[in-house]
Amino acid sequence: MNEQIKETKLDLKEVNDTLDSGCVEGFSVTGDYIANLKDKSFTIVSVPKYEIMKSIDKDNTMVRKLKLIIKLTDGAIMDYYPNKTSQKKIMDIAGVKLSNWEGVDGEFEVLEQMVGQIKKKVIYIKSAIPRRPAQQTK
What are the sequence ranges of the domains in the chain?
23-130
Kindly report, residue by residue over 79-125, the tens digit of the pLDDT: 999 999 999 999 999 999 999 999 999 999 999 998 878 899 999 99
User: For 52, how many CA atoms within 13 A lie in the half-sphere containing its CB?
Assistant: 3
**Chain centre distance of CA 29:** 9
pTM for this model (two decimals): 0.75
Question: Rounded to whole angstroms, how far apart are CA atoms 120 and 50?
Answer: 24
Kindly report, residue by residue over 17-31, the tens digit of the pLDDT: 444 556 666 678 999
Task: State the Cα torsion 39-21-124-137 to the nearest 10°.
Answer: 110
The band of 14, judged by pLDDT with boundaries at 50, 70 and 90, is very low
Residue among 70, 75, 82, 72 at smallest CA distance from 40: 72
Question: Rounded to whole angstroms, how far apart are CA atoms 80 and 105?
Answer: 14
